[in-house]
Amino acid sequence: MARYNKAMFRNLNASVNGVGGYILGINIDSERTLLVHGNLSGLASEKLEFASPVTEGFQYFLSEVSNNADRLLMITKAQHLPLPDVVSVSVAGNYDSHTGILSSSMEFSQWKSESLRSQLGLRFNLPVYAENKANAGMLAELLFGKNQALEQAVYLTFTPRVRVSLLSEGRLYRNAAANTGAIGNIRLNGSQTPGEQFRILDDIASGGGLLNLAHLRHPNHWEQELTLQGLLQSALDQDPYSIEVIHEAAMWAGRSLESMVHMLRPETIIIGHPYHLLGNIWLDPMVESLSQTTGLGIGQLPKIITSTLGARQPELEALSPAIAALRSSRPN
C-alpha cells in the first residue's frame, strides 16, 4: 500500500480559498464501499466501488480499502491528478466522532470497537475526518444542496438502517452516545401492524426491510433477484406493486416520526439516501401519515423535502466530512 508523504501535504486552508486540495473520500456501508477522488469544491474526478467484506475481520476490510485505493489512485495518477491531502469518511453503524471508534452494530456485527479514524490515518499517513452516514448526509446537504441556510432540521438516511441527523442552530447535534440517531429501533405501534415480522422501523423502512416487505407482499411478482436499486427504479417506472410496497413503508416511517416532530419542532425534515430519488412517491404517503398521527394539518407540519443532491449524493456524502471540517477551521 502506498503511503503518502506528508511533505506533499498542501496548505488546505489556502486550498479552501481556491488553490486546490484533494480528498480521498470513503463511503462505507454493510453492502458496498465507495471510494472517491475529489476536491474541496465537491467535484469527483474518479470513483471506484467494491463489496464491503463485513463478514471478515476489520483488518481485512482495511486491506481491501487500501488495495482499492491504490487502484483508484493509479487511475488518477495517469490523468496527472494530485495525490489526496486528506481522507474523508462516511460510515454506517455506531461511529463516535469524538473518539474515532466504530462500535459493534447490526451493520458490522463482526467488528468490535474498531479504531476507524486512527487505523485509516496509519494506512494512508494522512489526516482523517469521519462522520456517521446520517451526519455526513446532512453536511453534504448543507454544503452542496439547495437548502444551505437551514438552522433547525432533521435528516433521514435509510440504508443500511434508518438513522437521523439533527441540526440545531446551524450545527450538528452531538452527544456522548455513538449510536445517536438510530431511530430504526423505534417500535411499530398502532391498531394495525404490518405483520409480526415487522417489529421496529428498520424492519420495514430500511433498505433491507423494504426488500423483505416487497417479497412478503408480492412473492411472485419479481422475475429476478430483487435489489433495492431495482425496486426503486421499478417504482419510478410506475410499477404498481413497487409503488404499493414503498407507500406502505413510507406510511410507517411517517407514523414513527410523531414524537420527534412534537418534541423537536424542526423547520425542515430532509429525506436522504436512497429514498430521495423517489420524490413524491415516498413523500406523499409519509406526509399524509405524519399529519394523521400528529393531528397537525399539512401546513402545520415541518417542511418535508427530499435531498437535492440526486445521484451525486453518495460521493458528496463521502467528501463532506473533510470539506466541512476544513472550511470551519480556515482563517477569517
Question: What proportion of the chain, given as a percentage, has pLDDT over 70?
Answer: 89
Average pLDDT of the segment spanning 16-40? 84
Assess whether pLDDT exceeds 70 at residue 58: yes
Average pLDDT of the segment spanning 96-110? 84
Is-cis flag, bond preceding 194, omega within 30? no
In this structure, are residues 153 and 270 in contact, taking their beta carbons and an 8 Å threshold? Answer: yes
Choose between 10 and 88: higher pLDDT: 88
Q: Domain extents for the chain?
A: 6-140+313-329, 146-308
Instruction: Tell me the pLDDT band of 31, cut-offs 50, 70 and 90.
Output: confident
Range with the poorest average pLDDT among 107-111, 152-156, 229-233, 312-316: 107-111
Is-cis flag, bond preceding 160, omega within 30? yes
Assess whether pLDDT exceeds 50 at residue 7: no
Task: Express each pLDDT in 236-286 by its tens digit.
Answer: 999 999 999 999 999 999 999 998 999 889 999 999 999 999 999 999 999
Amino acid, res. 91: V
Please report the pLDDT score of residue 3 as a whole number: 39
Percent of residues in the chain assigned helix, strand, coil, to nearest 5:
45, 20, 35
- For residue 155, what is its C-alpha cell? 435528516
74-86: burial string, b at 16+ Cβ within 10 Å, e else: eebeeeeeebbbb
Please report the pLDDT score of residue 310 as a whole number: 93
Q: What are the backbone angles phi and psi of residue 275, rounded to the nearest 5°?
A: -75, -10
Task: Express each pLDDT in 123-180 by its tens digit.
Answer: 999 999 999 999 999 999 999 998 878 889 999 999 888 999 999 988 898 876 655 6
Choose between 306 and 8: higher pLDDT: 306
How high is the mean pLDDT of the chain?
A: 88
Choose between 243 and 2: higher pLDDT: 243
Instruction: Return d(Cα 37, Cα 308) in angstroms, integer.
Output: 22
Task: Decide if 6-140+313-329 and 146-308 have a common fold.
Answer: yes
198-215: burial string, b at 16+ Cβ within 10 Å, e else: bebbbbbbbbbbbbbbbe
Average pLDDT of the segment spanning 37-47? 95
3-state secondary structure of 154: strand
Q: What are the backbone angles phi and psi of residue 232, rounded to the nearest 5°?
A: -65, -40
| CATH code matching the domain that covers 6-140+313-329, chosen among 3.30.710.10, 3.30.420.40, 3.90.1150.10, 1.10.630.10 | 3.30.420.40
- For residue 95, what is its C-alpha cell? 461511529
Distances (CA, A) of 61 to 52, 93, 139, 303: 7, 15, 26, 40
Please report the pLDDT score of residue 298 as a whole number: 86
Please report the pLDDT score of residue 157 as a whole number: 94
Assess whether pLDDT exceeds 70 at residue 192: no
Task: Express each pLDDT in 63-96 by its tens digit.
Answer: 999 999 999 999 999 999 999 999 999 999 889 8
pTM, to two decimals? 0.89
Please report the pLDDT score of residue 109 as a whole number: 79
3-state secondary structure of 17: helix
Please report the pLDDT score of residue 257 as a whole number: 93
Q: What is the DSSP string of 79-101?
A: TTPPPPSEEEEEE-SEEETTTTE
Please report the pLDDT score of residue 174 as a whole number: 80
Please report the pLDDT score of residue 127 as a whole number: 95
Please report the pLDDT score of residue 150 as a whole number: 87
Instruction: Return d(Cα 308, Cα 76) in angstroms, integer.
Output: 28
- CATH code of the domain occupying 146-308: 3.30.420.40
Please report the pLDDT score of residue 178 as a whole number: 53
Choose between 250 and 112: higher pLDDT: 250
Please report the pLDDT score of residue 160 as a whole number: 85
Please report the pLDDT score of residue 223 as a whole number: 74
Amino acid, res. 20: G
Sheet order of strands, 153-157 included: 171-172, 163-168, 153-157, 268-271, 303-306
Helices (H) and strands (E) in the chain, counts: 11, 13
Please report the pLDDT score of residue 9 as a whole number: 35
Q: What are the backbone angles phi and psi of residue 318, rounded to the nearest 5°?
A: -65, -40
Instruction: Return d(Cα 38, Cα 164) in angstroms, integer.
Output: 26
